[in-house]
Structure 1
Amino acid sequence: MLRQLQRIVQAVNQAPDFELALQTLVTEVKQALNTDSCTIYLTDFAQQRFRLAATDGLRITQEQPIYMNFGEGMISLAAQREEPLNLAQADQHPRFLQLPGVDETGYQAMLTTPVIHRRKVLGVLVIQQREARAYSADEEAFAVTLAAQLAVVIAHAQAKGVALHPHQQSAFGQTYKGLAAAAGVAIAPAYVMQPLAQLSAVKAKPCDNPEREIRAFRSAVARTRQDLIRLSERMRDEVAAESLAIFEVYHAMLDSESLGQQVEQTIQAGWRAQTALKIVVEQLVQQFEALEDDYIRERASDVRDLGQRILAHLQQRERRATKPPKQCVLVAEEVTVTMLAELPDTEIVAMVSLRGSRNSHAAIMARSMGIAAIVGVAELDLNDIDNQLCVVDGYSGELYLNPPTQVVAEYRQLANEELELRELVEQARGQPAQSKEGEPFSLQLNLGVQVDKSWLQALQSDGVGLFRTEIPFMLRERFPTESEQVELYREVLQQFAEQTVVMRTLDVGGDKPLPYLPLSEENPFLGWRGIRLTLDQPEIFLMQIRAMLKASINTCSLRILLPMVSTVEEVDEALRMIKQAHHEVSEEVAEDPQQHLHYPQVGVMIEVPAVLYQLDVIAEKIDFFSVGSNDLTQYLLAVDRNNERVSALYDAYHPAVIRALAEIAQTCQRLQKPISVCGELAGEPGGALLLAAMGYRNLSMNGYSLDHVRWMLSQLTLAQMQSVLEQVLAARSAPQVHEILALEMEKLGLGGLVRAGA
């Protein structure tokens, strides 16, 4: 039966439209099981009923669609039980229902199998025969397996808005669902952009003149560098200066040994420049995509984009002159930073990317540009969307194609309210971060890319709450030398000489190995990573600590943060080595009376649940704690947020996470130990509200969240925040937490921070 199942699935996937796919399915199943009838019913949750979507065997006696209300018949019973019903004489069952308009005369046996996708019953597959016998265990297993395959097909169709009403638009037009990547709403025609060249289209070809190929490659790199300079200058007046640092990442990749030298070495090995570029870039992309860290994993998109820009110059391709609309929604398979900069005479009001995440550089750039952004709209067909009117809701992640006039009018009003709210938020810059009654907060930055002094100062933050030191390690083909690390760390420390800079020690290993330190583990999330790796490799740890200390000479800014701590022994060993490194650097500094070395404060990240039960003991040894809410959520809920099968379970607003955070805050207050939060939760207005109510006074976030959180805090008293927290702590589920938070923020006049409108 496996071959039959594969054939059916292949036939369904090859069907040109959804309705034909369903009809193909019922016909193929009927033949495979040698039965008399096969029918598929789809769930219509809005109308609380099932629709007969396709049948091969039943005789339909009316032209109107056939419906069955929830709670009626064998269909509802199978859906309620969420398991197959195998009956030899179904017409004798008390729940059997003869549907008007359907002739089931002569059928006795019935096998009903619910079609379930992520705990949601999307429909019911019904197989019938005239003979009064139960279907065999093999036949039932076949139906269950097929229903699991069908669930994916229906889920994708529903995401396109075609599953229930294939020939009609919904009240909102054709609707697609993605991930909200940048808040805002926009209305404009779609403009589809394709990369000039595709690495995937390059065919492997050998070369007999490596010197010529290397010259061509170097020339293409030089022209690409000029492109980046031009695009960066073009964006200089359109985005916050901080976002231009993204182009520096592209330049760093061009300079990286992992790209240029590897390509030239591959050419020397006998391949043409285009082939060598493809080989190297695809290897780098695979390495990045295999990583667990959201931010670093998204650099795969940058590497691919850069490789394809170099390839375009190798192929001597130029973008043809097109006339996009004066205002447009930029749509692409994978929107990149360079795409956002390539339309100088067009106002991009939103971006929609079929691939990517909210951590992509394009999404970061979109937030800086103040435009709505949706990513991960995998079901969208680029061939059908160009120049179609789009409504983009960057709060809900929804895209509406050609919606009716009343929907457009409603969103235009919401867009106007968005502008009013943005003006209010921008007024908060320059104001102290404090509650309505004057309770102070420290708002700091999460950093990990190359930055310059101008944009950092413009943000008016209170320092750096998390500096990810692993990124420079990721961009090299070897460990950076001590002097290279000193240069990097000094650049950041000098910019915050009067504030604090929390530098996290190398957080790699296991699921995110360095290219030059390959690892293979069955369960990398629980493997050799973070402090475990660096303590096992003391030469790496000591070199990094020495570099941090040397960079901090004559400043008091440095704080050192230890990641992935799970035991007291790890803290003891790390402190011993920090003390050793300090002694070694002190001996060097002692030779110069103009230099002073400050002993840094040392903190521990709270991300492994085990630390929650060791706070008292660890607090005696260190100076501060910092909560990594992303990993803490992942480990508390045992959910890999990058696994699409369970990613919906990942939610930082889960009651277990909220209560753990509240308990951490209370314990640290009792211990009188400073505590901060550096995960994504701190940069979300709703999350920041709850954290502030718990007692957290130090929040670290990306630069694009600072103004919103600062303004939100200024609008509330501590009593108002605590009132919301009390209700949230009583919630029993994550959806209930979201509902309470959204409702209370509406009451407090802050609804515009969590949904479209003022």
Structure 2
Amino acid sequence: MPKPLLVAKKILQESAQAADTQELVQLIVNRIRSSLNVDVCSLYLVDSNEHLTLTATEGLADGAVGNIKLAFGEGLVGTIAQRQHLMNLPYAEQHPKYKYFPVSGEEHYQGYLGVPMIHLGNTLGVLVVQVKETRRFSDEEEAFLVTMGAHLVSSLSGNLQKLLDIESLSDTSNIRRLRGINGAAGVCIAKGWVVKDELSLESIPERSGSGVEFERTRIADALLSTREDLDGETLNNHGGDTLNALMEVYRLLLVSPELSDGIEEELLAGVSASTALKRSMLKQIAVFDAMEDPYLKARADDLRVLAIRIYRQLQNLEPEIIETNEPIVLIGKNISVEHFAKVDSKWIAGIASSQGSSLSHTSVLANALGIPAVVGLDEHNLDDLHGTDIILDGNLGLLIANAPEPIIEEYERLIKLEAARQANLAHLKELPAESTDGKTIRLFCNTGLLADISPGLERGSEGIGLYRSEIPFMVHDTFPTEEEQVKIYRGVLKAYAPKPVVMRTLDIGGDKALPYFPIQEENPFLGWRGIRFALDYRNIQLDQIRAMLLANIGLDNLQIMVPMLSNEEELLSVHRLVDEAISQLKEEGQPVHKPAIGIMAEVPAVIWMLPKLRDYIDFVSIGSNDLTQYLLAVDRNNSRVSHLYSHNHPAVIDAIFLIAKECKRLNIDLSVCGEMASDPKAVLLLMGMGIRTLSMSAFKLPIIKWLVRHADTQECRTILDHVRDLSTTKAIEAHLQAHLEKIGYAKMFGRQ
């Protein structure tokens, strides 16, 4: 049997050639029927009257299309739609809900399998396959159809039922449908506003300078003016703390030595101030663009935005003014923080750009403001969208311009539904993450930039479970000074005080390289990375620890975490460095003390070493991403094997269960800070293991808090016991998905 995602991909590729809606839905049923080798495949979609209408079929009578309509709860199809649960029947006619339609010609088909197609908790349709013989469909066939239904309802805009009200897409040729990346969840309908200032760093012309001193003065004045503009925008902004935090990132970059030193080096070569700016910025951008880690890769956008701001000051270019008294969708090649500062945020309904990623500052700010964002659009010519009616679907990464009335009405319904859901989540900020049986789960967030601080606080984060301290090292052209590090760390610790902040010591290597200290290795993920590098450069690690201790003075919320630990001597060496740093600082008159010190459990060897390490650690945090990679020998960034990566693999679950059991026995605080902590299925297992601290992206906090408050830890333990007897990832995820549906998660947020 073909894999469902491959079939879905083929359908989506072929759908682009479909002449009209009917051809599209007919293509779907034809492909599914042939893939499963069944007698009948039918697609029922919910129309504007909330009836399930037979829209396409391969196997039933042609006259049945459009003439078979069922209400929710009526017949087998209506029952599936109402219950939002599949039916697998060996003898369909014997089911009490069976309803016969003479026009269908279906009396000869007994084996019956139907699955609901659900998006955002709503049933949009039902997929049905039938065979003549009396038999129950296999688990594999069941899983295939469920997967097809889920994938198609998402990929084909998640709004198939709206197509019932449109005779043909070719009749509405002014409709534009652009696909992109989900930057921030949500849906909006508003007028498009295409920003005009589309300067690019690469297009800046290169020229010789008019003398080093003259050009040096020009760039200094431009930097000062840029700083003054940032200060002014901060004072007048309507975007809240998150926008202020993003502006602070630019202010820090403006005074960073790598910027000034890089520009100075180019000026001494005899080029103009703008050329020096361009060349020095492009060197830094190239470092981030080359990184595999999407979080770090997205930081290149910040440098581009800042470079263009400085260039405008050099050339005395006036920025665009955005004046509106109605909601707008900001559209452009790269919508930046600067654009947010030009207009009152109450009028910004959404963001759409042909550049950016889900981790860029544009997406960060859109999430913080609670507006949808679609980035990485598949079309670069967006000028004609100015002033048009735009539907922006941040859930699906979709932009629709000039949509017909039925589609608009459907999206208006979804917007009302989503508003009600968000209202249900907003109150959670002030409530504890407490299970139904009274167990409290601490929810922390992961961060690495000042710009990520506010979203966590705004969503009720109880601390920082992972602060990536390598970021300041990666945006420099040299190792940052102790003073520079103190300033950055202090800002993070102060923002969260008295809540705890877990700072991971320098973790480079693997996919995280320093531009000024390249490491060439055949197998970097098993090489010179994390604490291995830091201990070989003892002075660099000592400076960082000193900076953390100094930043913690008067706040006392610092915890230090050691990455990539694989043996006891590494941990003892870290303790010796911390003790030495404390001794030095006390001699200098600084009132420092030793903070809690913990380790990341990401190298599998740690699992069996915990008893030997007990006397030297205060806490353990499971880095589920790397632990999964190392346990399964899978590089998740390698497209050839990434499909084998899953933290719900039986071996990974057993390994984490063993860590949790051992930490409980040894009385060691335990948390999880990898992607597993924000996966709803995995969270059920972690709660069942007794893990009571999770750290994740700030934007996942409300969802996971909702899940915790609707889960019972004793029931989670029962789920865990059952899952540990299962032998495949597929079976595990199916069992976990069933429980999510049982507690209402799937209805609230959709299938995972």
TM-score, structure 2 as length reference: 0.70
**How far, CA to CA, are the matches of 1:613 and 1:411 in structure 2?**
53
| Residue number in structure 1 paired with 2:29 | 47
SS at match of 1:331: strand
Aligned partner of 1:48: which letter?
N
1:362-441 aligned within 5 A: 362-379=362-379, 381-383=381-383, 385-441=385-441
1:202-241 aligned within 5 A: 202-235=204-237, 237-239=238-240, 241=241
| Residue number in structure 2 paired with 1:130 | none
| Residue number in structure 2 paired with 1:309 | 309
| Residue number in structure 1 paired with 2:687 | 692
User: Shift of residue 205 of structure 1?
Assistant: 1.8
CA contact (8 A) 1:355 1:377 kept: yes
| Residue number in structure 1 paired with 2:356 | 356
SS at match of 2:258: coil
User: Shift of residue 655 of structure 1?
Assistant: 5.6
Report the more deviating stretch, 261-270 or 551-560: 551-560
Aligned partner of 1:310: which letter?
I
Q: 1:585 aligns with which of 578, 582, 587?
A: 582
User: Shift of residue 175 of structure 1?
Assistant: 4.7
| Residue number in structure 2 paired with 1:521 | 521
Cα gap change, 1:699 to 1:383, in 2 (>3 Å): same
CA contact (8 A) 1:629 1:680 kept: yes
CA contact (8 A) 2:324 2:347 kept: no
Number of residue pairs the alignment of both structures matches: 609
Cα gap change, 1:315 to 1:495, in 2 (>3 Å): closer
Aligned partner of 1:211: which letter?
E
SS at match of 2:357: coil
SS at match of 1:519: coil
Cα gap change, 1:720 to 1:361, in 2 (>3 Å): farther
Cα gap change, 1:321 to 1:560, in 2 (>3 Å): closer
| Residue number in structure 2 paired with 1:668 | 663
Aligned partner of 1:351: which letter?
I
Q: Identity over aligned residues, as a percent?
A: 38
Cα gap change, 1:46 to 1:267, in 2 (>3 Å): same
CA contact (8 A) 2:553 2:591 kept: yes
CA contact (8 A) 1:327 1:348 kept: yes
**How far, CA to CA, are the matches of 2:327 and 2:533 in structure 1?**
50
| Residue number in structure 2 paired with 1:715 | 710
Cα gap change, 1:246 to 1:659, in 2 (>3 Å): farther
What do the CA deviations read for 1:629-659 (whole angstroms, capped 9, x no partner)? 3333444555555566766665555565455
| Consecutive unaligned residues in structure 1, runs of 5 or more | 1-17, 20-41, 51-68, 71-157
| Residue number in structure 2 paired with 1:256 | 256
1:122-201 aligned within 5 A: 168=170, 175-201=177-203
CA contact (8 A) 2:531 2:570 kept: no
SS at match of 1:46: helix
| Residue number in structure 2 paired with 1:485 | 485
| Residue number in structure 1 paired with 2:546 | 546
What do the CA deviations read for 1:432-465 (whole angstroms, capped 9, x no partner)? 2211232112222323223799987666543321
User: Shift of residue 313 of structure 1?
Assistant: 2.7
**How far, CA to CA, are the matches of 2:371 and 2:380 in structure 1?**
20
Aligned partner of 1:582: which letter?
D
User: Shift of residue 263 of structure 1?
Assistant: 1.6
Aligned partner of 1:182: which letter?
A
SS at match of 2:450: coil
SS at match of 1:371: coil
User: Shift of residue 541 of structure 1?
Assistant: 1.6
Cα gap change, 1:231 to 1:680, in 2 (>3 Å): farther
**How far, CA to CA, are the matches of 2:244 and 2:484 in structure 1?**
23
**How far, CA to CA, are the matches of 2:194 and 2:644 in structure 1?**
33
**How far, CA to CA, are the matches of 2:410 and 2:447 in structure 1?**
38
**How far, CA to CA, are the matches of 2:219 and 2:651 in structure 1?**
54
**How far, CA to CA, are the matches of 1:454 and 1:412 in structure 2?**
30
| Residue number in structure 2 paired with 1:126 | none
Aligned partner of 2:677: which letter?
A
Report the more deviating stretch, 185-194 or 297-306: 185-194
| Residue 572 in structure 1 maps to residue 573 in structure 2 | no
What do the CA deviations read for 1:527-569 (whole angstroms, capped 9, x no partner)? 322111111111112222233334445665332211122x21x
Report the more deviating stretch, 336-345 or 717-726: 717-726
**How far, CA to CA, are the matches of 1:644 and 1:159 in structure 2?**
24
CA contact (8 A) 1:196 1:318 kept: no
CA contact (8 A) 1:685 1:753 kept: no
**How far, CA to CA, are the matches of 1:176 and 1:752 in structure 2?**
27
Aligned partner of 1:186: which letter?
C
- What is the root-mean-square deviation of aligned Cα atoms in Å? 4.2
| Residue number in structure 2 paired with 1:602 | 597
| Consecutive unaligned residues in structure 2, runs of 5 or more | 1-15, 18-23, 33-57, 60-154, 159-166
**How far, CA to CA, are the matches of 2:542 and 2:293 in structure 1?**
24
| Residue number in structure 1 paired with 2:38 | none
**How far, CA to CA, are the matches of 2:724 and 2:178 in structure 1?**
34
What do the CA deviations read for 1:394-434 (whole angstroms, capped 9, x no partner)? 33334444444333222212211222222222212222221
What do the CA deviations read for 1:281-322 (whole angstroms, capped 9, x no partner)? 111110111223332221101001111222223333224556
| Residue number in structure 2 paired with 1:278 | 278
Aligned partner of 1:536: which letter?
D
CA contact (8 A) 2:455 2:698 kept: no
**How far, CA to CA, are the matches of 1:345 and 1:433 in structure 2?**
30
User: Shift of residue 689 of structure 1?
Assistant: 4.1
Aligned partner of 1:285: which letter?
I
SS at match of 1:200: coil
CA contact (8 A) 2:243 2:337 kept: no
User: Shift of residue 582 of structure 1?
Assistant: 1.0
CA contact (8 A) 2:450 2:492 kept: no
| Residue number in structure 2 paired with 1:447 | 447
Cα gap change, 1:190 to 1:243, in 2 (>3 Å): same
**How far, CA to CA, are the matches of 1:310 and 1:477 in structure 2?**
19
CA contact (8 A) 1:333 1:354 kept: yes
**How far, CA to CA, are the matches of 2:670 and 2:345 in structure 1?**
48
Aligned partner of 1:238: which letter?
G
**How far, CA to CA, are the matches of 2:369 and 2:295 in structure 1?**
19
What do the CA deviations read for 1:361-392 (whole angstroms, capped 9, x no partner)? 11111110001223333356535644444433
Cα gap change, 1:179 to 1:689, in 2 (>3 Å): farther
Cα gap change, 1:234 to 1:491, in 2 (>3 Å): closer
| Residue number in structure 2 paired with 1:563 | 563
| Residue 677 in structure 1 maps to residue 659 in structure 2 | no
User: Shift of residue 719 of structure 1?
Assistant: 3.9
| Residue number in structure 1 paired with 2:41 | none
Aligned partner of 1:47: which letter?
V
Cα gap change, 1:620 to 1:45, in 2 (>3 Å): farther
**How far, CA to CA, are the matches of 1:655 and 1:171 in structure 2?**
50
Aligned partner of 2:216: which letter?
I
1:525-540 aligned within 5 A: 525-540=525-540
1:451-530 aligned within 5 A: 460-493=460-493, 498-530=498-530
User: Shift of residue 244 of structure 1?
Assistant: 2.4
Cα gap change, 1:453 to 1:631, in 2 (>3 Å): closer
**How far, CA to CA, are the matches of 1:737 and 1:172 in structure 2?**
46
| Residue 632 in structure 1 maps to residue 627 in structure 2 | yes
User: Shift of residue 177 of structure 1?
Assistant: 4.2
1:60-75 aligned within 5 A: none
Cα gap change, 1:667 to 1:618, in 2 (>3 Å): same
Aligned partner of 2:661: which letter?
Q
| Residue number in structure 1 paired with 2:298 | 298
User: Shift of residue 324 of structure 1?
Assistant: 6.4
